[in-house]
Amino acid sequence: MVANRVFRLGILVVFVFILLTGLTASTEYQEGTTRTSEMDQNSTSNENGYASETHIIVLTNNALNPETTEINQYDKVIWRNLNKPKRSFVLVSEDNLWKDFSLGYGKSFEYTFNETGTFGFIIKDEKDFKGTVVVNKARETAGTPLPEKETPKPEKVTPKPTEKVTPKPTEKVITKTETVQGPENSVVIRGSVFYPETLELNKGDTLVWKNLNKPKRSFTLVSEEGLFKDQIIGYGKSFSYTFDEAGDYAFKLKEIPDTKLIIKVG
């Protein structure tokens, strides 16, 4: 009887030992996988030869802070849920950069932007939870030497004797003036809002509105001062207007009355 109990106890001890060994091996495997993933990301950044930074967007007080984040190519953005009351949110990329991600309280989601452009994101089923990441061209790593410039050898120039030219009394000298066009001033409609929301122009400047909203749809641009008739701008289309008078002008989207664009013309 005693031998039977000892035999059963021995089997139980062996079973517990095998179970604990399996759990330890699984934990070590997960930690090793995480470290490997981090090493791979660092390796990619180094191979690109560009300096990368990390930017954080926080969900707090039922809002995104900041709503617009400007970064460089190959930078990483981390979304962190610190909202109270505590709840989970679903982070959605309007450009399908990632699958919808459920972000629990205190949890984070990260994404590295390898392409330049303007990308929108929203919180699913939350009307006012939306933001934009503007990705500029990557800058070179701080330690990368720049190519040396070759110094051209001076050429020996023999000056020619100057000749005195006496203009005829009947000739007129005409000076031709060339007009140089400045850079385009533009406002983008994306994420159902204007970007930027305020802009300063000079008298005589031309402003271009571009509809790059996703999901693709048309919007009606309205001038609150009646500078022009309501303009329907389809996806990928644009509308331009030249400001001939100084002042402050307001614009909105007819389909979304809460949108507002202020143009200050000096």
Residue given tokens 């590295």 in the structure block? 112
SS3 at position 222: strand
Q: Are both 129 and 201 inside the same structural domain?
A: no
Alpha-carbon gap, residue 230 to 39, rounded angstroms: 54
Number of domains in the chain: 2
Token pair listed for 2 = 């005693």
Q: With CA atoms as reference, report the closest residue to 193 among 116, 135, 109, 118.
A: 118
Question: Do residues 196 and 130 share a domain?
Answer: no
Mean local confidence (pLDDT), 146-156: 56
What pLDDT is recorded for position 176?
A: 38
Q: Residue 205 falls within a domain, yes or no? A: yes
pLDDT band at 85 (very low <50, low <70, confident <90, very high): confident
Q: What is the mean pLDDT of residues 199-228?
A: 94
Question: What percentage of the chain has pLDDT greater than the value 90?
Answer: 47
Residues 197-219, mean pLDDT to the nearest whole number: 93
- Domain harbouring 195, CATH code: 2.60.40.420
pLDDT at 37: 39
Q: What percent of the chain is predicted at pLDDT more than 70? A: 66
| The pLDDT value given to residue 55 | 93
Q: What is the reported pTM? A: 0.38
Q: How far apart are CA 155 and CA 208, in angstroms?
A: 49
Structural domain ending residue among the three candidates 105, 136, 167: 136
Query: Per mean pLDDT, which range of 103-117, 120-134, 192-206 is the poorest?
Result: 120-134
Domain assignment of residue 37, yes or no: no
Q: Which residue range(s) make up the domain with 92?
A: 54-136
Q: What is the DSSP code string of 110-128?
A: EEE--S-EEEEEEETT-TT
| Whether 259 and 189 share a structural domain | yes
Q: Is residue 161 part of a domain?
A: no
What mean pLDDT do residues 105-122 have? 93
Residue 46 pLDDT more than 50?
A: no
Q: Which of 136, 155, 170 is the last residue of a domain?
A: 136
At residue 168, the pLDDT reads: 60
> Does residue 85 have a cis bond before it (omega within 30 degrees)?
yes
Within a domain: 13: no
The per-residue pLDDT for 39 is 40
Mapping DSSP to helix (H, G, I), strand (E, B) and coil, where does residue 38 land? helix
Structural domain contains residue 194 = yes
246 lies in some domain: yes
Residue 61 has pLDDT above 60, yes or no: yes
Confidence at residue 136, expressed as pLDDT on a 0 to 100 scale: 94
In this structure, is residue 119 part of a structural domain?
yes
Average pLDDT over the chain reads 78
Higher pLDDT, 14 or 210: 210
13 compared with 86, residue with greater pLDDT: 86
- For residues 131 and 192, state if they share a domain: no
Pick the last residue of a domain from 72, 102, 136.
136
Residue 221 burial (CB count, 10 A): 23
Query: Does any domain span residue 11?
Result: no
pLDDT level of residue 179 (50, 70, 90 thresholds): very low
- The model's confidence at residue 59, banded by pLDDT at 50, 70 and 90, is confident
Contacts of 257 (CB under 8 A, 6+ apart): none
Tokens 């929203």 found at: 122
